[in-house]
A and B are shown apart, each in its own frame.
Chain A
Amino acid sequence: MKTLITNGIIIDPDTRQMGVGSVLVENGSITARFDGQLPADASVRTAPGTTVIDASHKLISPGLIDLHVHLREPGEEHKETIATGTRAAAAGGFTVVACMPNTRPAIDSVATIQHITNAAARANNAEVLPIAAATVGRSGKELSPMRELVEAGAIGFSDDGTPVSDPAVMRNVFEYIKMLGVPYFGHCEDMVLSKGWGMHEGAVSNRLGLPGYPSAAEEVGIARDIALAELTNSRLHVCHVSTAGGVALIRAAKERGVKVSGEACPHHIVLSDRWVLGWLDEQANAENEPGISLNATTRPPYDTSTRVSPPLRSEADAEAVLQGLLDGTLDFVATDHAPHSRVDKEVEYRLAMAGITGIETALASMLMLVNRGQMNLIDLIVKMTDEPAKFLGRGSTALRVGARADITVIDPQMVWTVEAEKLFSKGKNTPLLGQKMRGKAVLTMYKGHITHHE
C-alpha cells in the first residue's frame, strides 16, 4: 500500500524552501521525494498498489503541531474525548498535539497517562503528548511523581488554569524538573488580581460593566515565573501570551539568557476585546472578506464564545503578540483548544466557562495574516511545525526520505464557513461561527494513514 501525493508546493521549514514536488509514502514513512513537476507518465504513479493524490495548487506541509490543547478526557467526555479532539485536530491539519492536565482526575498519575496514550492509540488520529500536573490534583501543594510521569511519557508539567500560587512550591517544581530536562508550561496569572473577572480590563469592560482581568495580572504571573526559572536555571514555557507587557517580559528574559519560551494563540492575534461588544461596536468591521477580514458585528453583545482565559485583549496587545511571534520572542503557535458544552456557555457572561474551541480554525485564522501581508507563509509553517518540534527536542519535520509521514495538504484558496455542525470537536464554542474563512487542511496524514480528507 503506497500513497503518492503529487505536484503540490512542498514547504521545507528547515531550509525555508518552497517548490513543486511529490512525496511517496509507504509503511508510515516517506520513501521517495520528487522535486519538480512529476510527469503524468511517471512510472511511480502506476506502480501496483499506489493511491495517487493530486495536490496541484496546494501546499504540502509537514503535519502541524499544536502543543496546547484540552482533550477533556478523562472526566469530561461530554465536552470532548481523545477521539473527537484528535479527529478535530486532523481536520485542522494537526498530526501532533500536547494535552493539558486539567482533566478529572488531573493527569498526575502513570495510570492516567496510560489511559490517554491508549485512547490516543485507539483513535489513531494524531500523536498525543501528555502534559502532566506539577502538583497532585493540581492543588499547588505536593509535587506530583514527576519522574515517573516523564518515564510514562509526560513531555512537561503544568497546573494549567490554577497556577501554583505558593512561590516556594513553584520554585521546587522548577528545581525538580531541571533534573528531568522538561519544561514547565505556565498559565501565568495572579489570581488575586484577576479575581471575579469577566473579560480584559479596559475600555470595553468598563462600557459593558464587566469586572476586568487586568493585563498586569498576567504580567505579574509571567514576571514571577521568569524570576523563578532564572533562579533555578530551569525551563519555563509561557502559555498563551496575550499582553504587550507579557511579550516584553519574555523578550527581556530571553535577552539575558533565561530558559524561557512562549506561545501565541490565533484568537489573541486575530480577535480583540471589542468582539465582546458584538454588534454594539460602532467601529467594528462588518465585512467578511474570506481570508482577509472577519465580520465582528454578527454576534450579540456578551456572547460567551468570546470568553477565554487569558481574555481577548486590546488591539494593541494583539499587535504586540503578533510582533512577538514574528521576532521570535514567542516561539510557536498553539491553539489552547478548549471545548465546552452548551450548558457551560449558555449562561450569564461572567459565569460562562472560559475557552475557545480553536483547533479547526487555527490554520485559516493564521493564514489570514499571511493574506494580509502581516506574516510570511514560510514563517507561519515554521511556527506550526519545526519550532514546536525543536521545543520537543526533535529534529526538523521536513518531508524528506525516511521521515515519519505526518503530512498536511493545505488548499490556501479554499473558502469555507465555520459551522457548528461541521466541526468535528464536540465544542462549538468559537466566536468564528458563521465566518467565511480562506484556507484549509484538505488532507491530513498521520504516520502514513489519512486522518482527514475533503
Chain B
Amino acid sequence: MNLPPIAPHNPWMATATRKRRHVLDLDDFAEQEILDVLDAAVSMKEILGRSVPQVPILRGKTMANIFYEESTRTRLSFELAARTLSASVMNMTAKGSSVEKGESLIDTIRTIQALGADIIVMRHGESGAPYLAAQHFKGSIINAGDGRHAHPSQALLDLFTIREHLGQLKDLHVVIAGDVLHSRVARSDIWGMLRCGMRVTLCAPSTLIGDMQMWKASHPGLRISYDLDALLPHTDVLMGLRLQKERMQAGLLPALREYSTYFGISAERLDHLPKHAIVMHPGPMNEGVEIMPEAADSPRSVIETQVTNGVAIRMALLYRLSGETQA
C-alpha cells in the first residue's frame, strides 16, 4: 500500500542490528516486526491457557504502570501480562500521587527510574508525553495511550484478533466508524493496518474526521466515507469507537440520536455485513450511542476476545523489549 517509508533516523526503533528501545506508536514498525509480535503473542496466548499461567521469562525485571488518566482494561492487562512473565509490577496513578503536588513528568520518570523500573507503561492525556518520558528514562517506555495520538498495544491486539478470526490481514477491508478525529486507537490502527496491507476506511460525521487531506498526507491509501450503510456489504471488520458525550457539548454533533441513526452499530446494520465479518470495539463502550447492546453481544462481536488477546500482545511486547534474546 501507499505508505510513507519508515523514517531512518529514529534511534529508538528496531533495525537489522539493533533491538527496539521503546514502543511509542506503530509508525516506526515495519510489517515484519508487527507480524513477529503477533506470532510471539500466539505463544503467549498458549501460556495464558495453561493451568498454571506463569513463566519465568522476565524474573527480576520490574515494570511500572504510570497512569495519568483513568483506565481499567489497559492497566490491568499490562499488569497481568507482566505477572504472567514473572516480572515485578509497580503501579502509580496520578491521582493521589506527587503529580497532584505539581511534580513534573520528567521528575516522576526519574523517580520511577531510581526505584528500579526496567519498563514504564505510561498513559497520559497529552499527545507526545511518552516521547518526553523516553528522553529521560534509561529503560523502555511502552505508550499505553497518549492524548489523541497513539495506543500501539491496542492496535496490535486488534490486528492479532482480526488475524485470529479471519486467518489473514492482507487485503481485508476495515471500516473504523466513530470519532476518529479524537481517537488514539484509530491513529495507531491506521498505521498498523495499512502496513499489514489491509484496506482502511474511516466513517464518521465530517466534524469527527476533519480535513481529509490531513489524513491523506500521512496515509495516501486511506479512504474516508460519510455513508456507513453503503460500506457494510464490503466490510470484513467493522470497528466502532467510543463517542464521548463532550463532543456534543463542543458543538461537533447535533444530537446523539442523529449520530446513532446514521453511524451507530446496530443489529440491523450487522445484517448487511458479509457472513464472515466481525465487529470490534476498543472499549469502553457507550452502549446505545455508537454501538447497540444487541450488536455488542452478537455472535459477530469479538469485543471480549480483544480484551483477552490484549494480555497476550502485551506479554509479547514486554518480552520483545526486555527479553535477553530477540523474540
Contact = CB atoms under 8 A, between A and B. Distances in A.
Given A206-B218, A343-B104, A346-B104, A282 B128 contact: no
Interface in B75-94: none
A414 interface: no
Contact of B7 (A198, A210, A280, A298): A280
Interface string A210-236: 110000000000000000000000000
A42 B105 CA distance: 65
A348 B214 contact: no
Interface residues of A, number: 31
A280 B149 contact: no
A42 B214 CA distance: 65
A206 B210 CA distance: 9
Contact of B127 (A280, A346, A350): A350
A286 B10 CA distance: 12
A351 interface: yes
Interface string A281-323: 1111010000000000110111000000000000000000000
Contacts of B101: none
Main secondary structure of the interface of B (DSSP, over half): loop
Contacts of A282: 4-8
B314 interface: no
A206 B184 CA distance: 11
Contacts, number: 93
A202 interface: yes
Contact of A281 (B7, B149, B150): B7
B127 A279 contact: no
Nearest to A210: B127
Contacts of A280: 7, 10, 27-28
B129 interface: yes
Contacts of A209: 127-128, 146-150, 184, 187
A280 to B, nearest CB: 5
B124 interface: yes
B136 to A, nearest CB: 9
A332 interface: no
A283 B8 CA distance: 10
A300 B131 contact: yes
B10 A350 contact: no
A122 interface: no
A49 B282 CA distance: 81
Given A209-B149, A348-B105, A286 B9 contact: yes
A349 B124 CA distance: 12
B138 to A, nearest CB: 16
B259 interface: no
A349 B128 CA distance: 7
Interface string B129-141: 1011011000000
B255 interface: no
A347 interface: yes
10 contacts: A198-B127, A206-B211, A210-B148, A210-B149, A280-B28, A286-B8, A297-B9, A298-B9, A347-B132, A348-B128
The 6 closest A-B pairs by CB, nearest first: A209-B149, A203-B217, A302-B128, A209-B148, A348-B126, A297-B9
Interface of B: 4-11, 27-28, 104-106, 124, 126-129, 131-132, 134-135, 146-150, 184, 187, 210-211, 213-215, 217-218
Interface of A: 198, 201-203, 205-211, 277, 279-284, 286, 297-298, 300-302, 343, 346-351
